[in-house]
């Protein structure tokens, strides 16, 4: 199901400031951000970039809200996990899922959040933002041979796999790790960065969804990475995640969904009206 809500680019920006410094957010939106910081991000500043970034971050908030309502929700973009609190790197400006985590905690009664970051690069920005926050557990499984990000940050759990790891070995490690973390951390919400720059397999996404459904934990997904010139192959990888999500939805029993619906996020549009 495609949700009909489209976020207006002027949606309230306070969620951004939950994950980022106020100075950084204001400077990026106003276009007064330094050239050095834009160089770090790797994109030229423009009003269109601001709009795109706000819509992208808004969609992460929406995904978290819908996951709490339906069990599973998938964005068509996002996973901007290289954005830190006061600067962006690697084409990531605001850390969409970090903002969504904070919004879910503030507005939806979510106490514990588990990040599952399976992009081929480490989720360094996410790890740094939640470094000293015991209410958010950051798990990143990535490839140790990547030269970016540098330096790496310390997630609550990092698994750096060697290049050339087979699908079977990869899934074995994930199967050993994810159910253990879900059981030990007992999160109210999983935020999953399903990076398509990993050798993405449908089994990986199925495993994530099955583990979350078994633990009755809602999961909101972003799709990180995807830099190939062949756009069709990127679309095909995105579709794998959406198909796996659709398969997983029936696994959330009506009983679980009733519980989740009592924790829905407030509607950002309503907040905006109230602020005016």
| Interface residue list for Zn ion (CB under 5 A) | 119, 121, 195, 197, 225
The Cα–Cα gap between 265 and 202 comes to 29
Among residues 62, 96, 101, 70, the alpha carbon closest in space to that of 209 is found at 70
Question: Can you read off the two tokens belonging to residue 199?
Answer: 């050798």
CB of 109 to Zn ion, least distance (A): 32
Q: What are 173-179's contacts with CB under 8 Å, separation 24+?
A: 173/141, 174/118, 174/141, 174/204, 174/207, 174/208, 175/207, 177/139, 177/141, 178/116, 178/139, 178/207, 178/208, 178/211, 179/211, 179/214, 179/215
Q: Which residues pair with 190 in a beta bridge?
A: 114, 219
Q: Please tell me which residue in 3, 8, 20, 82 is annotated as part of the active site.
A: 82
Q: Which is nearer to Zn ion, 185 or 197 (CB)?
A: 197
Q: Which is nearer to Zn ion, 58 or 195 (CB)?
A: 195
With respect to Zn ion, which residue has the nearer C-beta, 150 or 262? 150
d(CA 199, CA 223): 13
Minimum distance from residue 93 beta carbon to Zn ion (Å)? 15
Residues 237, 35: Cα–Cα separation, whole Å? 34
Whichever of 78 and 225 has its CB closer to Zn ion, that residue is 225
Least distance to Zn ion, CB of residue 131, Å = 20
Min dist CB 177 to Zn ion, Å, is 19
Closest CB to Zn ion: residue number: 121
Q: Is 242 a catalytic residue?
A: no
Shortest spacing between CB 77 and Zn ion, in angstroms: 14
If you search the block for the tokens 């309502």, which residue do you land on? 69
Contact partners, residue 48, CB within 8 Å, separation at least 6: none
By beta-carbon proximity to Zn ion, the closer residue of 10 and 91 is 91
Active site residues: 82
């Amino acid at each position: 199901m495609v949700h009909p809500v489209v976020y207006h680019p002027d949606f309230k920006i306070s969620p951004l400031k939950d994950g980022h410094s106020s100075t950084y957010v204001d400077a990026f939106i106003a276009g007064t951000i330094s050239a050095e910081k834009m160089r770090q991000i790797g994109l030229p500043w423009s009003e269109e970039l601001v709009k795109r970034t706000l819509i992208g971050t808004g969609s992460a908030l929406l995904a978290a809200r819908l996951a709490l309502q339906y069990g599973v929700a998938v964005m068509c973009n996002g996973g901007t996990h290289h954005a830190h609190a006061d600067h962006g790197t690697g084409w990531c400006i605001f850390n969409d899922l970090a903002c969504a985590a904070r919004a879910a905690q503030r507005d939806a009664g979510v106490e514990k959040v588990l990040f599952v970051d399976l992009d081929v690069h480490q989720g360094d920005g996410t790890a740094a933002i939640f470094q000293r926050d015991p209410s958010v557990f950051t798990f990143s499984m990535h490839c140790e041979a990547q030269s970016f990000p540098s330096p790496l940050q310390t997630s609550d759990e990092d698994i750096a796999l060697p290049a050339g790891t087979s699908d079977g070995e990869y899934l074995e490690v994930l199967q050993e790790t994810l159910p253990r973390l879900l059981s030990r951390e007992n999160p109210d919400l999983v935020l999953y960065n399903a990076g398509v720059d990993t050798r993405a397999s449908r089994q990986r996404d199925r495993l994530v969804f099955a583990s979350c459904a078994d633990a009755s934990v809602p999961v909101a997904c972003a799709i990180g990475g995807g830099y190939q010139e062949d756009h069709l192959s990127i679309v095909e990888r995105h579709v794998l995640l959406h198909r796996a999500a659709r398969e997983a939805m029936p696994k959330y029993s009506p009983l679980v969904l009733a519980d989740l619906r009592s924790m829905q996020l407030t509607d950002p549009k309503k907040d905006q009206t109230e602020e005016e």
